[in-house]
């Protein structure tokens, strides 16, 4: 008896871990801010493996070995950061293949906003990521080890404003101008923080579009990417 291929998507954040599986939905649990993942970097591999294993056990139906796992990673992650994440994924799921996707790109896919030039700001518990996407690809990005759990809305808006200023100096001025004219796509917990979207709009003098479901936009996008990988002719 043959079984349908299984895809998993993982968003392992500084405050919450979430797993999506084909035909099984989403399960989530807190990571404890900074306990397992700090500033977007895995700090406890074994603890993360245990948490993800527990999450998978909560699915209504057991999830067989995954054919592919797509894991969100913070933009500008180092090879060392990614290797730690790979160890977590291998330990928890032992998939046939593991793929990584920048959180900002995944959030754009999950929000259905991959065409044209787009400025995405993802504000999480301990990390702020700002990226210019051109036709769905990250072409320039900034990140700061500061998030919504760290406090002041004013400092977050200043960080994003500096990110945008830095992006202007990267040689993508025309694409960035088109993206800002279109407005910022805001995702992550910060999109739900009272007053923050409005403060960003005022400080940057741009429209701020909050993702329909800011907390799950990246996971949704990673899930779509995982399904696309399964369908790719070269996957088998």
2 lies in some domain? no
Predicted confidence at residue 32, as pLDDT, reads: 79
Domain check: are 98 and 125 in the same one?
no
Please give the structure tokens belonging to residue 135: 């036709």
Domain check: are 167 and 200 in the same one?
yes
Q: Kindly report the pTM of this predicted structure.
A: 0.93
Please give the structure tokens belonging to residue 23: 């035909």
The residue range of the domain holding 133 is 105-210
1 lies in some domain? no
Pairing assessment for the beta strands 117-123 and 128-134 based on DSSP bridges: antiparallel
pLDDT per residue over 30-58, tens digit each?
987 668 999 999 999 999 999 999 999 88
User: How does DSSP assign 102-117, residue by residue?
Assistant: EHHHHHHHHTT--SSE
pLDDT per residue over 76-92, tens digit each?
999 999 999 999 999 99
Residues comprising the chain, all counted: 236
- Average pLDDT score, the chain: 92
Q: For residues 181 and 177, give the distance between their C-alpha atoms in angstroms, rounded to a whole number.
A: 6
pLDDT per residue over 180-211, tens digit each?
999 999 999 999 999 999 999 999 999 999 99
Q: Which of helix, strand or coil describes residue 177?
A: helix
Domain check: are 119 and 134 in the same one?
yes
Task: Kindly report the backbone phi and psi dihedral angles of residue 10, in degrees, each rounded to the nearest multiple of 5, phi listed first.
Answer: -130, 130
Nearest CA among 189, 175, 170, 149 for reference residue 76:
170
């Amino acid at each position: 008896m043959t079984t349908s291929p299984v895809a998993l998507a993982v968003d392992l954040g500084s405050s919450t871990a979430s797993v999506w599986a084909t035909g099984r939905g989403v399960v989530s649990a807190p990571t404890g801010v900074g306990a397992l993942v700090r500033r977007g970097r895995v700090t406890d591999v074994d603890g993360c493996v245990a948490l993800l294993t527990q999450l998978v056990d909560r699915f209504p139906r057991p999830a067989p070995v995954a054919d592919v796992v797509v894991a969100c990673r913070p933009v500008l992650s180092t090879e060392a950061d990614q290797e730690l994440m790979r160890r977590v994924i291998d330990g928890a799921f032992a998939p046939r293949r593991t793929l990584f996707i920048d959180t900002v790109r995944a959030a754009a896919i999950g929000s259905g906003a991959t065409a044209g030039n787009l400025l995405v700001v993802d504000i999480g518990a301990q990390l702020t990521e700002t990226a210019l996407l051109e036709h769905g690809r990250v072409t320039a990005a900034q990140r700061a080890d500061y998030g919504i759990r760290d406090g002041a809305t004013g400092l977050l808006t200043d960080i994003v404003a500096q990110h945008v200023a830095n992006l202007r100096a990267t040689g993508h001025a025309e694409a960035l101008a088109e993206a800002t004219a279109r407005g910022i796509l805001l995702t992550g917990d910060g999109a739900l923080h009272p007053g923050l979207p409005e403060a960003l709009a005022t400080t940057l003098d741009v429209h701020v579009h909050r993702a329909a479901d800011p907390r799950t936009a990246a996971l949704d996008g990673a899930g779509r990417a995982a399904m696309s990988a399964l369908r790719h002719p070269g996957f088998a």
